[in-house]
Structure 1
Amino acid sequence: MASLDQIAPAFVDMAHSIVWASVATVDPQGRPRSRVLHPLWEYDGAELVGWIAVGPTGIKRAHIAAQPEISINYWATNHDTCSAECAVEWVFDDDARTAVWEKFKTAPEPVGYDPAIIPPWSGGPTSPAFAAWRLHPRRLRVMPGRVMTQGAGEVLTWRE
């Protein structure tokens, strides 16, 4: 099993090159629901933290209240895949939402974008339509596509 120092940079590089991920939550009855979202990851050499800008819909609120865990899976056409299983917490504080908004707005492409392009969020980071999730990974997996297609390279896994 890899250390966080070994896997976090590889995970962030792959995730940020793929950009969009399938993200699954679980409802109060234990039924999964997935959607495609756009996480942003930060690794400071000690801690990996993820951020997802979201609309605080009733469905998302109910799912996270019932089970504050999500599963994230990235896939590219060359079969690069990486995944994260994370504890998740809501970000509703105005200063924190503004900070997350700026993280996305100032991140380099292809992961960076201006959240104001999303029509419900045109009111800015303190709009009631905008919130964020802070992600705390508990498990990571990184598999370069060449592992599957060529039998070359290695799969990295990490658990908290």
Structure 2
Amino acid sequence: MVVDKEIAEEFIAVAHRIVWCTVATTDTKGRPRARVLHPLWEYDETAGLAGWIVTRPTPVKVAHLARTPFATCSYWDPAQDVAIADCDAMWVADGPSRARIWAAYRDAPAPLGYDFWSVFPAGPDSDEVGLLRLAPYRLRITGIETLTGQRPPTSWRRSAKAGPKAAARAAGRGVG
């Protein structure tokens, strides 16, 4: 089941306005571990919503995702806008995807846009660069109206039949 376009657009609007989010994974002992990262989200009518993170594939991140291939992205701002995505997370090694996402970050308007050359001078194909693809299985968007009881939260959950492999197939990408 692909994320409804209206819900995806609402999520992207909040996420791209806030830009930085807390991303949590699970360590090898089942404990949560959080860090602040900068995902870029895109929506496609066929593949649905996908998040992309250009990051260092540190031994900690690699071990966490090898054991438990899931991440939660949590956005919050002082106006009480919140967007949360619980996701299947997978490392993407193919060069065309890495180059495309690198360029998408570079070309995005501020404050979302970012030129990774300053952080990764060897470029997108360097072993220092990792690309994470996030495929949401649950979204929740709230605001001050939700906190005050004026509006229910916006939420979406992928059907139980559509697990990570089905989501990857729908996106036209392999799992891994």
C-alpha contact (below 8 Å) 1:24/1:35 kept by paired residues: yes
Residue of structure 2 equivalent to 1:72: 73
Residue of structure 1 equivalent to 2:91: 90
Structure 2, unaligned runs of 5 or more: 159-176
Distance 1:145 1:21 in 2: 19
Aligned residue-pair number: 155
- One-letter amino acid of the counterpart of residue 154, structure 1: P
Residue of structure 2 equivalent to 1:122: 121
Say which SS state the counterpart of residue 70 (structure 1) adopts.
strand
Distance 2:37 2:56 in 1: 11
C-alpha contact (below 8 Å) 2:5/2:43 kept by paired residues: no
RMSD: 1.4
TM-score (norm 1): 0.91
Residue of structure 1 equivalent to 2:137: 138
Distance 2:26 2:146 in 1: 31
Residue of structure 1 equivalent to 2:156: 158
Structure 1, unaligned runs of 5 or more: none
Deviations 1:52-100 (A, max 9, x none): 1110110010001000000110000101001000001101222221122
Distance 1:65 1:143 in 2: 31
Deviations 1:9-32 (A, max 9, x none): 100000100000000011121011
Query: Where does structure 1 differ by over 6 angstroms across 4 or more consecutive aligned residues?
Result: none
Matched, 1:9 2:9: yes
Distance 2:97 2:5 in 1: 27
Deviations 1:122-147 (A, max 9, x none): 11111111111011000000002232
C-alpha contact (below 8 Å) 1:55/1:131 kept by paired residues: yes
Residue of structure 2 equivalent to 1:36: 36
Say which SS state the counterpart of residue 49 (structure 1) adopts.
strand
C-alpha contact (below 8 Å) 1:81/1:145 kept by paired residues: no
Aligned-pair identity (%): 42
Between 1:52-61 and 1:107-116, the stretch displaced more is: 107-116
